[in-house]
Structure 1
Amino acid sequence: MHSNLWIEETFEDYLGLRFKVERILFSGKSEFQTVDIVETKGHGKMLLNDGLVMVTERDEFAYHDMITHLPLFTHPCPKNVLVIGGGDGGTAREVIRHTGIEKCTMVEIDAMVVDACKQYIPQTSCALNNKKVNLVIGDGVKFVKETSEKFDVIIVDSTDPIGPAQPLFGEEFYQDVYNCLSDDGIVVSQGESSWYAIDIQRSLLTVLNRVFPKCFLYNFSNLTYPGGLWCFTFASKKHHPINDFNEQRVKDSGLTFSYYNTRLHTAAFALPSFVISELSDLIDNSEL
């Protein structure tokens, strides 16, 4: 018997993405959001928070490759990494593949997301019990304000700036991020879609420019987020993501990737002209 159930993610009042559901694996409501995991026909297992697609087995590697390997191969010697959010575990999984990483602290506000992904999406959550991963269930905003630890790379693997993720797009948060980065630290954040949220990109980049000397925007492509072409922001105290990128380190690492590669590392910063014209005053990309 085949299921006739479809789920639809709607964006504002004019766009919908529909996915064929084979079965519902988990459905719950935490103090922060609704959490659902479903088995889909074409995209494998899928995590939704408040009805928005976070992760699918089919294309999660694109997001997780680009949010982790690009900053980790730009920084010359990352050892201590902080992930804020990322409850599905995919970002932590990719971070600890780098043999030089000594510790990956992951601060996720919603235990239900972590527990559900551990049970139903081992593809992304498989590293959460690794001894190098220090999993903290708590508020990332509070964590960066109070920690005395210094991190080489901070990865803000957040949802859209609504609900519990809203403070992760504010200036106070990024000032705290700056303060707990090492002297040559890098922060990469989920940076929305230029097609549908260039106003949010402008707001986030304005905040980053007030705090960091170097700010960039870079692209990745995926199947399941509205618009398909999405971005990360890259902000750094010192390192330039292209000029300070040593391709040989990628080759010497022995790592293989499903999305990331050395040519894509550089190409990701080549932005469409409409994005450059809208954001050129806030990004260094226009000079590349």
Structure 2
Amino acid sequence: MGNLKVGIIGVGLMGHGIAKNVVSKGWALGFLDHPGNQDCSDLIGFGAGRFADKHDLVAASEVVILCVSGTPQVEDVLLGENGILKTVKKGTIIIDCSTAIPSSTEAIAKQAEAAGALFMDAPMTRTPLEAEAGRLNLLVGANPELFARIRPLLETFAENIFHAGGAGAGHKLKLLHNFCSLGMVTLIGEAAACAERGGISPEIFTEVLAKGGGYGAAFDRVSPFLLEGDNSKMKFFISNAHKDLSYYVQMAEDVSAGHQTASGVYGALQSLTDGGFGQGFLSETARYFGDVASKG
């Protein structure tokens, strides 16, 4: 298993950590050169190969990891005019670590199988800090045999691995998780903006949350920014949170579930993206909600 050759498409904030841990722990790695990548000089130093063409990368790989923005990008890489499913070798394992719409994932899994490939979704939780440390959470959708076969690779960059079910189940669980986690961060940011406008200091606001029911992982990631302007605990773009909430709402509609609260969070994030803050980090929402309110 350790001799499998791995290729990765998408070496951004999260993908870089995945790639670094895979190659530094003894797995042969190639990556697709792309303007959106982080600095990959360290990967090359570990022996990773750089590929200019995704088909060449896939041809040289037995496992292909996708770590791209979302469903449109996944569909383009796999199914587009130049999609890799047109040329993929039989038996190639494709692991989608992106956040995607489950109904699309389920359809892609069937098309990958028809092309002779093996497909699984393994979206991540946690942040780029944990990605670099090899301590991600992975939510896996795959048949049990494939999951068992590929687990040693996943363990190179994940601390906790959850098998959610068949293909698509990982993405369903990821959207449920992100609705809860991103929703809490958004809620705290909006409350902090209200606190500031109401004359409540960040110090007393965070102290009360820390010692009451408002405490949790979301608070730990936001409070450094509220107190010190430190956004390093959650480098997650508002535009990505907005995208994830849109996926959650679509999933809820697909299964005829209620989404009133999710639609509210989505609307709040929409106001920030409309205000030009989509490339800000979610940990900074208190500032941006204040700016939006001032403009209003």
Mark yes or no: TM-score above 0.5. Answer: no
Structure richer in helix, relative to its length = 2
**TM-score (ref. length: structure 2):** 0.29
Structure ID, larger Rg: 2
Structure with greater strand percent = 1
